[in-house]
Structure 1
Amino acid sequence: MLYPWQQTLWEKWQQLLEQNRLHHAILLTAAKGSGRGELARHLAHTVLCQNGYTEACGMCHACQLLAAQTHPDFHVIKPEQEGKQISVDAVRQCNRWAVETSQLGGRRVILIENADALGEAAANALLKTLEEPPENCQFILTAQSLDSLLPTIVSRCNKWRLSVPDEAQTQHWVEMQLMQSIKTEAVRLNCGAPLATLQFIEQGQDIRHGKLVEAFATYLQPPHTGLYDVAGLCAGEGTISLQWLSFFLLDCIKLQQGAGQCLVHRESASWVQKVAQAVPAATLIRQARQINKLHQQLQKHTGLNDELLIVEWLSTFLTEN
């Protein structure tokens, strides 16, 4: 199934498929929550379909095997855990698949999800295969951005960018799925990505986000109560909560600098205003930098005591004021 915002890019790929001009290595970059994985798999299924040239038929033996996730010529490698790198061993296996004979006598497809998680050794192991591709082997790589990919990998691929819809379109699409209105800040907190916004609402994160913002803003105003309430809410939600607070602090800075029309927290603007009035600009800027460092630290080292580190960070607001 394709989403509406994917249709334009898909039609371009269909033209290449019809003309037999699809590059042997497609690199798709797109934001998290935009459905890049679904689009990549849709292309893989179309390439492997035994009847269709520009769209999978859904009826042939290959399509049935794909639906059952048992197609012998469709291979996927990706990080074993979120935030981890794709191993060199996984890439070596990928290279072996690339030179194998098709078990169904057709094409072979290798999908590399989150290719920006390829470490330097793994990327180098892939280079020769991408440079001299075996016959009838289609590579599809997906990534969030090109920044973390080796230039040598990027240069050997045909690059495509899937853009997210504009804010109003994303909000409308999510509201149609849920049959209810949603806040604009829910879209902005998820960088406009439709699927991420939908999941944000479905999982009740919008409600927990609202509680965290209220508790955080209350703590930052005299008499500065509720430190452990804020830390507990953050620890319960995970590292994403630190990203929410980072957005909130940046909104406070924007308001102080006269850019209040650009707030992420549109519906929570009253809390932003209260904090912007109560906390000096220098403190907000310093704390925004510190929370981003803490976010990166907790993502990289999963065994740390999240709540204790968050309490320490929150405490520095009072010592700096």
Structure 2
Amino acid sequence: MHHAILLLAPKGTGREVLGQQLAQTVLCNNCDSEPCGVCHSCKLFAAGTHPDFHLIQPEQEGKQIGVDAVRQCNRWAMETSHLAGQRVIMIDCADSMGEAGANAILKTLEEPPSGCQFILTAQSLDSLLPTIVSRCNKWRIETPDEQFVKQWVEKQLMQTIKIESIRLNACAPLATQQFIEQGMDIRHNHLNEAFVAFLQPPHIGIYDVVSLCISEGIVSMKWLSYFLVDCIKFQQGVTGYLTHSESIDKIQSVAQAVPSTILIQQVRKINELHRKLEKHSGLNIELLIVEWLTGFIGGNNRVS
């Protein structure tokens, strides 16, 4: 394989599982096209104690991979193998590396020591520095068909799920399963109901929406953005593919109540707000969401 593999797929598709399968294949003593599972190396890997496999990832979801962790990768790359074989360094969520971290590993990715394999995972090329992308062999993992995801998740959970839960999670099966297991589908529906009620004149209940957004965090802004985009599509006569395919009544009511110019303006603003809160966690979410929601209110409409 190329010395630096970049696996591109949304979170929740199992990309990190594929990355670990590749790592085990590289390290296997009897490797042909997949790990044997019985050699000393495979047993160490299965136990999580293989001395030549190194993994770094964000300490918490949404956090950056620090430059010190990336520099540790450079030190691992220079070490000799403990088992006289290959060495594998895996960077999960490589798009979480800050600019300093990305720059710290560039030289090693370009000219890695002999016997050192890098495996990186990321959401998309857009979320990575071009200098990192240029040094890797890119593997795009195909997203499963949504009907397949529906059948698979329903089999795992032994319950019926909505297509909109799948579309909200970019057709990623593991992310969809977790979405349902954690009750996020129910909370997402509650937020949509409160949001739709607020958008109907005289725009009461703004703090119901704010409270739900705060309890969910910045993911709530993605949900609201997807919903508003569906409303814009509906206004333009597009009904063939909506994220909220089982909530047409809610979409229609908002599309009829809010002018398209306001919807487009508010989608841009909520996306900007999401990016801002991703970068600066110390901002006052409540104040920012209230300010955004008031963008829907015109003239003398009442807020309560």
TM-score (ref. length: structure 1): 0.88
After TM superposition, list the pairs within 5 Å mapping 1:107-122 onto structure 2. Answer: 107-122=86-101
Structure 2 residue 255 is the aligned partner of structure 1 residue 276 = yes
CA 1:200 to 1:159, structure 2 compared with 1: closer, same or farther past 3 Å?
A: same
Paired residue secondary structure (1:262): coil
- Which of 11, 33, 49 is residue 28 of structure 2 equivalent to? 49
Gapped runs of 5+ residues in structure 2? none
Partner in structure 1 of residue 241 of structure 2: 262
Q: C-alpha root-mean-square deviation of aligned residues, in Å?
A: 1.8
Structure 2 residue 242 is the aligned partner of structure 1 residue 249 = no
**Aligned partner letter, 1:55:** E
Partner in structure 1 of residue 119 of structure 2: 140
Partner in structure 2 of residue 296 of structure 1: 275
Partner in structure 1 of residue 56 of structure 2: 77
Matches of 1:80 and 1:185, distance apart in 2: 30
Contact 1:164/1:194, CA 8 A, preserved across alignment: no
Matches of 2:137 and 2:128, distance apart in 1: 14
**Aligned partner letter, 2:112:** P
Matches of 1:229 and 1:121, distance apart in 2: 40
Matches of 2:277 and 2:78, distance apart in 1: 40
Structure 2 residue 191 is the aligned partner of structure 1 residue 216 = no
Partner in structure 1 of residue 153 of structure 2: 174
**Aligned partner letter, 1:223:** P
- Superposed displacement of residue 135, structure 1: 1.8
- Which of 43, 46, 51 is residue 67 of structure 1 equivalent to? 46
- Superposed displacement of residue 221, structure 1: 0.7
Aligned length: 300
Partner in structure 1 of residue 130 of structure 2: 151
Matches of 1:121 and 1:221, distance apart in 2: 47
Contact 1:24/1:139, CA 8 A, preserved across alignment: yes
Paired residue secondary structure (1:319): coil
Between 1:129-138 and 1:68-77, the stretch displaced more is 129-138
- Superposed displacement of residue 208, structure 1: 0.8
TM-score (ref. length: structure 2): 0.92
CA 1:73 to 1:167, structure 2 compared with 1: closer, same or farther past 3 Å?
A: same
Partner in structure 2 of residue 26 of structure 1: 5
Matches of 2:132 and 2:198, distance apart in 1: 48
- Superposed displacement of residue 211, structure 1: 1.0
Partner in structure 1 of residue 68 of structure 2: 89
- Superposed displacement of residue 279, structure 1: 1.0
- Superposed displacement of residue 35, structure 1: 0.9
Partner in structure 2 of residue 165 of structure 1: 144
Partner in structure 2 of residue 124 of structure 1: 103
- Superposed displacement of residue 56, structure 1: 2.0
Gapped runs of 5+ residues in structure 1? 1-21
Partner in structure 2 of residue 305 of structure 1: 284
